[in-house]
Structure 1
Amino acid sequence: MKLTFARHYRGLAATAVVGLLATVALAASSSPPPAAEPSLATNLPTGPMEMPDEWMTAQRLSDGSTSLSVTQYANARSQANQLAVRTKNSYRKLGNQEWDFFGPLNIGGRVPDLVVDPQVPDQLFIAAASGGVWKSSDAGDTFTPVWPDSWSQPIGALAMTSDGVLFAGTGEAQPGGGSITFGGDGIYRSTDRGGSWERVGLTDSHAIGRLAIDPTNEDRIFAAASGNLFIPGGERGVYLSEDGGDNWRQVLAPLNDTTGATEVIIDPSNPNRVYAAMWDHLREPHQRTYGGPGSSLWRSNDGGETWQRMTNGLPTDADQGRWGLAVAANNPQRLYAYVGTAIGPFRAFYRSDNGGDSWTLMPVNANQASQSTFSWWFGKIWVDPADADHLFLMGVNLMRSTNGAQSFSSVRGPHADQHVMRWDPKVPGRVYLGNDGGVYRSEQNGAAGWVKATDERYTQFYTVDVAETDPSLKVAGAQDNGCNRGYNGRLGPWEAIGCGDGLQTIIHPENPNIVFGCSQYGSCYRSENAGGTPRQTIGTGQTTSQRRNWLTPLLFDPNDPNVMYYAGNILNRSTDNGRTWTPISPDLTNGGPNDPSGYPWGTITTVAVAPSDSNTLYVGTDDGKVWWTRDLGATWNEVNSAQLPGTWVTRIAVNPKDAKIAYATFSAFRSGSSRAHVLMTRDGGQTWSNIGQGLPDAPVNSIVPTSDGLLMVGTDVGVFLSAWNGGEWAALGKNLPQAPVMYLRYHEPSRQLTAATFGRGIYDVSVPSCPASSTKLPLKNPGVGVVGVLNSCR
């Protein structure tokens, strides 16, 4: 298809799409409990996508699949490991390169669970959402990894016996922030505080919401198995091990095959009494159902052998989302519970004073709950072990009550989006908190004085850029942690430079004081103070588009940094370094299908400008289209869909020396098909061939061609290298943790490759110089690749 675009084209007015992670003003209420359940809030902010899980998942389901399985990732990691072995044997110079952690230390990332070591003073362990298990021996100030880098990194739950046996449940029960695409493969046990691990069961649980150990018999361990968010069935419900984790049996089955357990709690005064929360939830390619008839609360009075559903005073209709549940340690008859609706907003808060026999509706409204439209993102209540009236409700803000849930007020200090609190029984008043910003500690019983950890190397990054003038200057966009500037060298402190979720971030090629940063849906800025204020707004109102991707492309023309491009569903161009913009394309997408509560399909996901010809541009979209123009947008040519895999186009890059050679990468899995992850054109976009044979079957997120004939890709399971025309692939370097590599940035003068990982921060590696790649390019043979070309890397 060819489209001719008139330069006087007038686009439709763009609509703003606002993320829902803003802080809401909160006020405490001291009114008595209402007689009836409060009406649902109707004035909460709305939008097509609250959380980045929609963006992460939409890419990986863009092949039409309805599920993402642990097996797919396990197979891909196995292929990556085999490729690494072959590389070390055949191309030692490539395989032996060391990836170095660049930073940051001081940002952190989502922490869904933590445990305090009952024996060792000041020691705790935390679960990083997609970054493994970490240990602190200095009261939560600094953390070191105790989970193998080469293993899958998502962790959902932790528990520890009184003598230090540590259990980790893999996979997160919070379906957001990308974590739902990286499920777990069961429960692991460490008898030496994280020094070594063995898997002990529930391999088909996908996500573990909670682990609970019987304090009177620590061989008895309960697990809340949440199940696969995409595939009904599997290991779901509450499981019990009576031999320290060696064997497990289901003791509470869910009401249907889309329900799993998210909570299991043992009464500290009566281990025969056990409570559980069940959640009915399913994620499909174009919609999510985060509630239903399976959502419910349960109690057992015989150690988990039989269970009764708690209903006296609780709702029994199907409009129940995720339940949060807590038991007061110093008064176990006191229970607290809250529930959301099936579509996400907070619904109601309850209290029981008789161990769950009956429940009273409490006067907690949506603002006090601080859960916006995604109550399913939190799912926890924590009670002061010494005071049953002192409790904390997890939400966007940390909410605190001192009167038994009669009212709540916001606690100042911590980062947004709360998940876990634990009291240190060895130090009165010491509380630890895990949220989307990492780990915090309070010595004031959680009421105030929150101090953030200083060394947390588990940040989830979407993008990274490197200054051409100095590769030690970096900016990067992080999930729920904004845009950040790393201008203080390796391991130096990073500074926040705005944004909500941090998405595209770029540095002016000639002046590192000029920095651009973007929040979700293309809300971007231009700064002449290295990301600091004042900032000029870019996005809705300055550019023309009707839809904008969660990660909206923003880039420089490599031939002229005053020329820039910004893409929604229409490509915009600036000739004055981002100050003003003009549309240079029509809508380059299909524009659907769209679900108001799902991902907004029909956006441009990647743009590339030929370094050797500014008139040649390539564009890829979320609905699988690729376009090219050789006349700066006057005429647009669509690549025949029969040549493309039809999946989400993650990145396009152009050969540094030849505008007719370009590369496109794609998300999703092949799942046994011949669908390509990497395509190449040699004739300016007219025909494309698959050069990704030999790569692991996993989404490819980024691609970088070098001027001396190398080609590097970042995938969900590592970084790989080939010659300019593909063929055989080699693993690049060692010691890169198995977190997804979302973005690559190559600094040609220093040969430094920088990787942004989703869960383990920013890493650098030096790319070996392989002269054969530039002197023996097999110009007409697309299958030679590494073999015979990278001999100098042996």
Structure 2
Amino acid sequence: MSPTLVRGRRALPVAAALALLTAAALTTSTPSARGEESLATSSPTGPMELPAEWMTAQRLSDGSTNLSAAKYAKARGEANRLAARTRSVYRPLADGDWRFFGPGNIGGRVVDIAVDPQVTDQIFIAAASGGIWRSADAGATFAPAWPDGGTQSMGAVAMTTDGVLFAGTGEAQPGGGSITFGGDGVYRSRDRGRTWQRVGLENSHAIARFAIDPGDQDRIFAAAAGNLFVPGGERGVYLSEDGGDTWRQALAPPNATTGATEVVIDPRNPNRVYAAMWDHLREPHQRTYGGPGSSLWRSDDGGRNWQRMTNGLPTDADQGRWGLALAPSDPDRLYAYVGTALGPFRAFYRSDDGGDTWTQTPVNANQASQSTFSWWFGKLFVDPADANHVFLTGVNLRRSTDGARSFGNVGGVHADQHVLRWDPKVPGRAYLGNDGGFYRSDDNGVGGWVKSTYEPYTQFYTVDVAETDPVLKVGGAQDNGCNRGYSGVGGPWNAIGCGDGLQVIIHPENPNIVFGCSQYGSCYRSENAGAAPRQSIGPGQTTSDRRNWLTPLQFDPSDPNVMYYAGNVVNRSTDNGRTWTAISPDLTGGGPNDPSGYPWGTITTIAAAPTDGDKLYVGTDDGRLWWTDDLGGTWNRVDPAQLPGTWVTRVAVHPSDANIAYATFSAFRSGSDRAHVMMTRDGGRTWTDIGRGLPDAPVNSVVPTSDGLLLVGTDVGVFVSAWNGGEWASLGAELPAAAVMYLRYHEPTRQLTAATFGRGVHDLTVPRCPAASTRLPLRDPGAGVVGVLASCRAA
């Protein structure tokens, strides 16, 4: 039986609550990634040329060849069962609600838009990893139209003329440095997003687009892109003729790695249907984003038979992702563009006879604004009232008024365009979705773009809170820079530089001193709460040959003037980040193993002991752990046989004992003995696995509290145990099912802050378990649960 999703707190069927992560990452950067300006002060633009797939690389660091949907389904099921047990046995830990802190005004990637044909000013959007949202004020503000516990990854949204809403889960834009998430099928809502029912295509992985027959609203096409890692599955164009109750494959893909990314119905002749197919596969050290299956197709009998369009179009294998659009005012007018298999723009085409013949137009790569990643866009849109008025998605929004013979830039919006829709009820009104969120133009898309004022679906990498006041927060966001939230709960956040925002931290004693980092360790120091003037920190001021996408930058908790920055070498500052000195050799296994892939051989995390300024712990992307007792005079490597060998996501030191530390790891156990959380009680010499009982999913963050609790953030939620591990419990309720990338705990107020990848920043007051105290025998591996979680048992 298909699951039904309802917004609001309640237990969801496991299958309905999957946040399946099975697609590769996307990378975004600034113009400076292409050598144009300083990363520390630039504005967000588009993806990097190289596939520096940071989030994907972590999750494949166990040697896996794909991010299996089954692994995430299993982990989500384990998380749901752990939450149910917590509600039953440790009720105080489950009762607290996570509270959305913000931001509401930054936004995040919007991949599709549906305009309500009946209700004025009402629209629905699909956020890439943030669910479905509804606006009743023409996009000025948005409210949830999707359950927090359902898969948050979206690829498409559409609405029939009688108000039935369809959501296609799973994002169809694979990429580079962050990540895209897979989905679990098509969902339908008959009450405008209050409740949802899954209605099929569970194995499609990603739905790229819907097309609804204007004359028969029960006739719906879906473009299924397929699993980026695994050939086969439900790919191609699917058709439902009963309003979504059942689906059949209308157009099979040419090969097992090809999926559909576009489907278009001729409004004058609904028996004529067009489709774009894309041949793409992601392997651990290679991506193939084009091939012989990439092609354009047409059916003249309602989708029963199809013919590949080739007259004037390329037929070789060097074809990447196609963009395809039809002019509503002249359905014989078609536009298409294609990239190469490697990613750069290749050519633009036009047909004036319904696809019988095609002519290449003089559009070049500069006009197209595709950079080297045309696969990240793949969409075209035509003004419903003017067949010559065409919009091309790219890093910039491009516009043609001469039938695609030439294109010019449309300014005033964030970079990386994904969807453009017109409101048929309001002449001249257009809506735009891109990596920065949602925009509206009442000037037919020509200009006058106004950004939404409330769109709470930002994809965060990190978060920090001020020790002096936990209401003051900063965070780093995917393609939305470094941001400052100093205005309280629900208040506006301000952009404070960076390209992609990665590590952002606040001085422990002075919240006006803020450090922000773009990708690959291009950081700054500001004494104006992140605003200019800024002092650069990075390759020119520190020593390292390689730097991680998220280069660690941390304060020494025993002295706020001491800081650490690490590439493949640890750098230390004693003057609050103004000058730096290297204090280690290369602590990794060497340089990149794939020059065109993720640059392996970097330090991913560093932690100094709060009680001993000479004690440091360091973790790397190639699974190494190190410690020093003499501030880098001697570095000691942990015996590899003790460790899982996967990416070390975070290390943390016990607040009152420098010899006790914790390390967390990405990737999956998948039946092996690999650990997700490890602990040392002897200063780093020996490590034990204390993560058994956690869901088998990447652990991204770890925090030990002063009163005996251990908090971890994972791809499938936040969990709590005792210092020594043992039994684990779920922590809190109402946290959306988006990956938790970073945790920050404010000891004086017990406020725990979580940065999610797609649903912004959330806070929770950690309950105090009465018996939890530092009197527990920490060196006894059998101690911990008794007297800590036991004191949080339900009455």
* Bucket of the pairwise TM-score, normalised by the shorter protein: over 0.9
Residue 242 of structure 1, CA deviation: 1.2
Query: For residue 542 of structure 1, what is the amino acid of its counterpart?
Result: Q
For residues 572-721 of structure 1, the aligned pairs below 5 Å read: 572-721=571-720
User: Does structure 1 residue 226 correspond to structure 2 residue 231?
Assistant: no
Q: Which residue of 1 aligns with 2:754?
A: 755
Relative to structure 1, the CA distance from residue 636 to residue 177 in structure 2 (aligned partners, 3 Å threshold; closer, same or farther) is: same
Partners of 2:723 and 2:778 within 8 A in 1:
no
Query: For residue 627 of structure 2, what is the amino acid of its counterpart?
Result: W
Cα distance in 1 for partners of 2:47, 2:424 equals: 43
Cα distance in 2 for partners of 1:720, 1:49 equals: 37
Query: For residue 494 of structure 1, what is the amino acid of its counterpart?
Result: W
Q: Which residue of 2 aligns with 1:458?
A: 457
Which stretches of structure 1, 4 residues or longer, exceed 6 Å deviation after superposition? 45-48
Q: Which residue of 2 aligns with 1:245?
A: 244
Relative to structure 1, the CA distance from residue 740 to residue 375 in structure 2 (aligned partners, 3 Å threshold; closer, same or farther) is: same
Q: TM-score, normalised by structure 2?
A: 0.93
Query: For residue 100 of structure 1, what is the amino acid of its counterpart?
Result: R
Q: Which residue of 1 aligns with 2:15?
A: none
Partners of 1:49 and 1:597 within 8 A in 2:
no
| 1:162-189 CA distance string (max 9 Å, x none) | 1000011000100137775520011001
| 1:409-445 CA distance string (max 9 Å, x none) | 1111111110001100000000000001111000000
| Secondary structure of the structure 2 residue equivalent to 1:83 | helix
User: Does structure 1 residue 390 correspond to structure 2 residue 389?
Assistant: yes
Partners of 2:49 and 2:373 within 8 A in 1:
no
Cα distance in 1 for partners of 2:30, 2:251 equals: 35
Partners of 1:334 and 1:355 within 8 A in 2:
yes
Cα distance in 1 for partners of 2:688, 2:772 equals: 20
Q: Which residue of 1 aligns with 2:324?
A: 325
| Secondary structure of the structure 1 residue equivalent to 2:81 | helix
Cα distance in 1 for partners of 2:70, 2:145 equals: 24
Partners of 1:288 and 1:598 within 8 A in 2:
no
Cα distance in 2 for partners of 1:97, 1:496 equals: 31
For residues 490-501 of structure 1, the aligned pairs below 5 Å read: 490-501=489-500
CA RMSD of aligned residues (A): 1.7
| Secondary structure of the structure 1 residue equivalent to 2:762 | strand
Residue 773 of structure 1, CA deviation: 1.7
Q: Which residue of 2 aligns with 1:14?
A: none
Relative to structure 1, the CA distance from residue 19 to residue 71 in structure 2 (aligned partners, 3 Å threshold; closer, same or farther) is: closer
| Secondary structure of the structure 2 residue equivalent to 1:93 | helix
Cα distance in 1 for partners of 2:685, 2:169 equals: 45
Unaligned 5+ segments in structure 1 are: 1-17, 26-44
| Secondary structure of the structure 1 residue equivalent to 2:187 | strand
Relative to structure 1, the CA distance from residue 521 to residue 23 in structure 2 (aligned partners, 3 Å threshold; closer, same or farther) is: closer
| Secondary structure of the structure 1 residue equivalent to 2:330 | coil
Q: TM-score, normalised by structure 1?
A: 0.93
Query: For residue 615 of structure 1, what is the amino acid of its counterpart?
Result: D
Q: Which residue of 2 aligns with 1:569?
A: 568
Partners of 2:142 and 2:455 within 8 A in 1:
yes
| Secondary structure of the structure 2 residue equivalent to 1:168 | strand
Q: Which residue of 1 aligns with 2:727?
A: 728
Query: For residue 599 of structure 2, what is the amino acid of its counterpart?
Result: P
Relative to structure 1, the CA distance from residue 179 to residue 274 in structure 2 (aligned partners, 3 Å threshold; closer, same or farther) is: farther
Query: For residue 685 of structure 1, what is the amino acid of its counterpart?
Result: G
Relative to structure 1, the CA distance from residue 468 to residue 86 in structure 2 (aligned partners, 3 Å threshold; closer, same or farther) is: same
| 1:337-369 CA distance string (max 9 Å, x none) | 010111111111111111111111111111111
Cα distance in 2 for partners of 1:77, 1:55 equals: 22
Query: For residue 487 of structure 2, what is the amino acid of its counterpart?
Result: N
Relative to structure 1, the CA distance from residue 46 to residue 413 in structure 2 (aligned partners, 3 Å threshold; closer, same or farther) is: closer
| 1:304-336 CA distance string (max 9 Å, x none) | 111111111111111111000000000011100
Query: For residue 226 of structure 2, what is the amino acid of its counterpart?
Result: G
| Secondary structure of the structure 2 residue equivalent to 1:753 | strand
Partners of 1:606 and 1:619 within 8 A in 2:
yes
Q: Which residue of 1 aligns with 2:19?
A: none
For residues 110-121 of structure 1, the aligned pairs below 5 Å read: 110-121=109-120
Query: For residue 769 of structure 2, what is the amino acid of its counterpart?
Result: C
For residues 144-155 of structure 1, the aligned pairs below 5 Å read: 144-155=143-154
| 1:270-303 CA distance string (max 9 Å, x none) | 1111000011111111121111111111111111
Partners of 1:433 and 1:439 within 8 A in 2:
yes
Q: Which residue of 2 aligns with 1:745?
A: 744
| 1:460-488 CA distance string (max 9 Å, x none) | 00000000000000000000000000001
User: Does structure 1 residue 532 correspond to structure 2 residue 531?
Assistant: yes
Relative to structure 1, the CA distance from residue 669 to residue 87 in structure 2 (aligned partners, 3 Å threshold; closer, same or farther) is: same
Q: Which residue of 1 aligns with 2:54?
A: 55
Residue 139 of structure 1, CA deviation: 0.5
Residue 556 of structure 1, CA deviation: 0.5
Cα distance in 2 for partners of 1:337, 1:164 equals: 30
Q: Which residue of 2 aligns with 1:280?
A: 279
Q: Which residue of 1 aligns with 2:39?
A: none
Query: For residue 377 of structure 1, what is the amino acid of its counterpart?
Result: W
Query: For residue 596 of structure 2, what is the amino acid of its counterpart?
Result: S
Cα distance in 2 for partners of 1:21, 1:529 equals: 22
Relative to structure 1, the CA distance from residue 787 to residue 335 in structure 2 (aligned partners, 3 Å threshold; closer, same or farther) is: farther
Cα distance in 2 for partners of 1:444, 1:237 equals: 36
Residue 50 of structure 1, CA deviation: 4.3
Residue 593 of structure 1, CA deviation: 4.5
Residue 592 of structure 1, CA deviation: 4.3
Unaligned 5+ segments in structure 2 are: 1-26, 35-44
Q: Which residue of 1 aligns with 2:339?
A: 340
For residues 206-217 of structure 1, the aligned pairs below 5 Å read: 206-217=205-216
Query: For residue 359 of structure 1, what is the amino acid of its counterpart?
Result: W
Residue 243 of structure 1, CA deviation: 1.2
Relative to structure 1, the CA distance from residue 175 to residue 395 in structure 2 (aligned partners, 3 Å threshold; closer, same or farther) is: same
Partners of 1:174 and 1:180 within 8 A in 2:
no
Moved more, 131-140 or 773-782: 773-782
Cα distance in 1 for partners of 2:176, 2:325 equals: 25
For residues 21-60 of structure 1, the aligned pairs below 5 Å read: 21-22=30-31, 50=50, 54-60=53-59
User: Does structure 1 residue 418 correspond to structure 2 residue 417?
Assistant: yes
Partners of 1:23 and 1:397 within 8 A in 2:
no
For residues 244-323 of structure 1, the aligned pairs below 5 Å read: 244-323=243-322
Cα distance in 1 for partners of 2:600, 2:49 equals: 11
| Secondary structure of the structure 2 residue equivalent to 1:74 | helix
Moved more, 159-168 or 584-593: 584-593
| 1:384-412 CA distance string (max 9 Å, x none) | 01100001000111101111111111111
Residue 215 of structure 1, CA deviation: 1.2
Partners of 1:728 and 1:787 within 8 A in 2:
no
Partners of 2:654 and 2:661 within 8 A in 1:
yes
Query: For residue 417 of structure 2, what is the amino acid of its counterpart?
Result: Q
Query: For residue 728 of structure 1, what is the amino acid of its counterpart?
Result: E
Relative to structure 1, the CA distance from residue 48 to residue 686 in structure 2 (aligned partners, 3 Å threshold; closer, same or farther) is: farther
Cα distance in 2 for partners of 1:409, 1:514 equals: 41
| Identity level (%) | 78
| 1:568-615 CA distance string (max 9 Å, x none) | 111111111111111111111112443233211111000010111111
Residue 253 of structure 1, CA deviation: 1.1
For residues 47-196 of structure 1, the aligned pairs below 5 Å read: 50=50, 54-176=53-175, 180-196=179-195
Partners of 1:337 and 1:351 within 8 A in 2:
yes
For residues 391-540 of structure 1, the aligned pairs below 5 Å read: 391-540=390-539
Residue 211 of structure 1, CA deviation: 0.8
User: Does structure 1 residue 202 correspond to structure 2 residue 210?
Assistant: no
For residues 372-383 of structure 1, the aligned pairs below 5 Å read: 372-383=371-382
Q: Which residue of 2 aligns with 1:8?
A: none
Partners of 1:172 and 1:180 within 8 A in 2:
no
| Secondary structure of the structure 2 residue equivalent to 1:742 | strand
Moved more, 135-144 or 766-775: 766-775
Query: For residue 374 of structure 1, what is the amino acid of its counterpart?
Result: F
| 1:38-61 CA distance string (max 9 Å, x none) | xxxxxxx99986466x11110101
Relative to structure 1, the CA distance from residue 181 to residue 333 in structure 2 (aligned partners, 3 Å threshold; closer, same or farther) is: closer
Partners of 2:322 and 2:339 within 8 A in 1:
yes
Cα distance in 2 for partners of 1:784, 1:351 equals: 71
| Secondary structure of the structure 2 residue equivalent to 1:774 | coil
Q: Which residue of 2 aligns with 1:32?
A: none
Partners of 1:70 and 1:182 within 8 A in 2:
no
| Secondary structure of the structure 1 residue equivalent to 2:110 | coil
